[in-house]
């Protein structure tokens, strides 16, 4: 069985950042797909002498059963003990595993694993005048209610940031993994908005420091309703640029979602632009092209390209991207659009944040400036 591996990289004097996206080329049993995927990633990391900074695996619940052991066997000493984010999706055209994304760093000093509640939870990378943190799979699955889990996730993230002398004002990007999203997304938004207000990210007298974000219907494999990944810039401080509105889309906070359309941050090898989860939504916050997957896909791509342009990025600068399709039928329609942009696509089947939304894209770009 073959895999499709796409690699994007940017180099500076201090470090090189590489983004690896791997998808199966054919449907096969999950164990077979996993062995091929992680062997390809391990070979790439070893050949580049790169260290993992953040990693996500998208697949069905059955694909997650033995995946960490298969990954560990393939990685060997590359495995630093921090598990990737395991995100449960519906099965798509590629089979039980939709894909794996790895953000890695090449440097004389590798990222350091940090613990939260005595459990490996993130990595810190430090170079002269720069320091970045990633957290992966932060969750609280033992709490009975989804909103309690969401509150705990934000509190845990803040605790990790405080350990390093920072706070949520240093966060340009979050990823919110929300199982059964359609049943409680409104409640989640209330939890997030309240937390951000209490911490001074939003509200009167603030500079509206809402991270770029994805909130999508993928639950963590541990059975929880909510998990979070994030990236924080510890140094230089106050260096994040937020884009509240982009292209034809206005600020999402106007219709109750506390996130920026995009954010720009200084990262180990340059600057990274993070495009939030973006869909077929107009300037008034209404879903457009209802019931028409092709039109929603076309509009979504246009909205993503508009956000990239507003952040002085080109389509060629994209280093990581996920296309979220509501059904396998939408994924089939997306197939006719996929090759129009030479992006390192990972395509995942899951619910979007509204019943009438069929498609969403998130992206990261590193402008060559």
Return the half-sphere exposure (C-beta side, CA atoms, 13 A cut-off) of residue 229.
25
Q: How do strand 51-59 and strand 112-116 relate by DSSP bridges?
A: unpaired
Sign of CA dihedral 198, 276, 134, 369: negative
Taking the model in full, what pTM does it have? 0.97
284, burial (CB in 10 Å: exposed 0-12, middle 13-18, buried 19+): exposed
CB 188 within 8 A of CB 180: no
Kindly report the number of other CB atoms within 10 A of residue 52's CB atom. Answer: 24
Q: Which domain holds residue 227?
A: 3-365
Using CA atoms of 23, 24, 27, 33 in order, give the dihedral in degrees to the nearest 10: -110
Tell me which residue of 197, 300, 199 sits closest to 253, measured CA to CA.
Answer: 197
Per-residue pLDDT tens listing for the chain (369 residues) = 789 999 999 999 889 999 999 999 989 999 999 999 999 999 999 999 999 999 999 999 999 999 999 999 999 999 999 999 999 999 999 999 999 999 999 999 999 999 998 999 999 999 998 999 999 999 999 999 999 999 999 999 999 999 999 999 999 999 999 999 999 999 999 999 999 999 999 988 888 899 999 999 999 999 999 999 999 999 998 899 999 887 778 888 888 889 999 999 999 999 999 999 999 999 888 999 999 999 999 999 999 999 999 999 999 999 999 999 999 999 999 999 998 999 999 999 999 999 999 999 999 999 986
Q: What is the rounded radius of gyration, in angstroms, for the C-alpha atoms of the chain? A: 19
User: pLDDT tens digits, residue range 51-80?
Assistant: 999 999 999 999 999 999 999 999 999 999
Would you give the distance in Å from CA 250 to the centre of its chain? 22
Cis, peptide link before residue 38, omega less than 30° from 0? no
pLDDT value of position 311: 95
Kindly report the number of other CB atoms within 10 A of residue 8's CB atom. Answer: 20
Q: What is the DSSP letter of 84?
A: P
Tell me which residue of 3, 181, 7 sits closest to 90, measured CA to CA.
Answer: 181
C-alpha distance from residue 23 to each of 20, 214, 217, 244 (Å)? 10, 21, 20, 32
Q: Could you tell me the two tokens for 352?
A: 């979007």
Tell me which residue of 212, 365, 327, 334 sits closest to 278, measured CA to CA.
Answer: 212
First vs last Cα of the chain: how many Å apart? 39
Domain count, the chain: 1
CB 273 within 8 A of CB 263: yes
| CA 66/CA 31 separation, integer angstroms | 7
Place of tokens 């399709």: 325
| CA 74/CA 43 separation, integer angstroms | 9
| CA 21/CA 323 separation, integer angstroms | 13
CATH number at residue 133: 3.30.1330.40
Q: How do strand 226-235 and strand 173-178 relate by DSSP bridges?
A: antiparallel
Tell me which residue of 150, 303, 316 sits closest to 226, measured CA to CA.
Answer: 150
Sign of CA dihedral 353, 100, 16, 366: negative
């Amino acid at each position: 069985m073959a895999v499709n591996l796409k690699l994007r990289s940017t180099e500076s004097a201090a470090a090189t950042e590489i983004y690896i996206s791997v998808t199966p080329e054919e449907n096969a049993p999950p164990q077979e797909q996993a062995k091929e995927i992680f062997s390809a990633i391990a070979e790439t990391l070893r050949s580049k002498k790169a260290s993992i900074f953040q990693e996500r695996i998208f697949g069905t619940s059955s694909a997650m059963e033995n995946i960490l052991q298969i990954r560990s066997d393939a990685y060997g000493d590359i495995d630093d003990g921090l598990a990737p984010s395991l995100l449960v999706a519906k099965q798509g055209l590629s089979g039980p595993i939709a894909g794996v994304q790895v953000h890695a760093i090449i440097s004389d000093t590798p990222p350091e694993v940090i613990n939260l509640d005595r459990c490996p939870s993130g990595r810190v990378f430090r170079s002269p005048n720069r320091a970045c943190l990633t957290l992966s799979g932060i969750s609280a699955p033992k709490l009975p209610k989804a909103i309690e889990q969401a509150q705990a996730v934000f509190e845990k993230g803040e605790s990790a940031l405080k350990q390093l002398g920072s706070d949520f004002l240093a966060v340009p990007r979050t990823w919110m993994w929300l199982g059964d999203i359609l049943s409680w997304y409104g409640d989640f938004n209330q939890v997030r908005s309240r937390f951000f207000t209490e911490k001074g990210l939003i509200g009167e007298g603030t500079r509206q420091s809402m991270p770029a974000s994805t909130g999508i219907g993928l639950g963590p494999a541990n059975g929880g309703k909510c998990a979070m990944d994030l990236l924080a810039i510890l140094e230089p401080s106050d260096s994040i640029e937020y884009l509240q509105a982009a292209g034809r889309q206005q600020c999402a906070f106007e219709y109750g979602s506390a996130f920026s359309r995009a954010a720009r941050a200084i990262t180990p090898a340059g600057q990274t632009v993070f495009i939030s989860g973006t869909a077929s939504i107009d300037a008034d916050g209404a879903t457009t092209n209802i019931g028409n997957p092709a039109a929603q896909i076309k509009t979504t791509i246009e909205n993503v390209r508009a956000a990239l342009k507003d952040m002085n990025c080109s389509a060629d600068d994209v280093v990581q991207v996920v296309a979220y399709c509501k059904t396998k039928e939408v994924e089939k329609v997306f197939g006719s659009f996929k090759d129009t942009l030479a992006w390192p696509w990972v395509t995942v089947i899951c619910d979007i944040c509204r019943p009438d939304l069929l498609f969403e894209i998130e992206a990261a770009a590193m402008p060559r400036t």
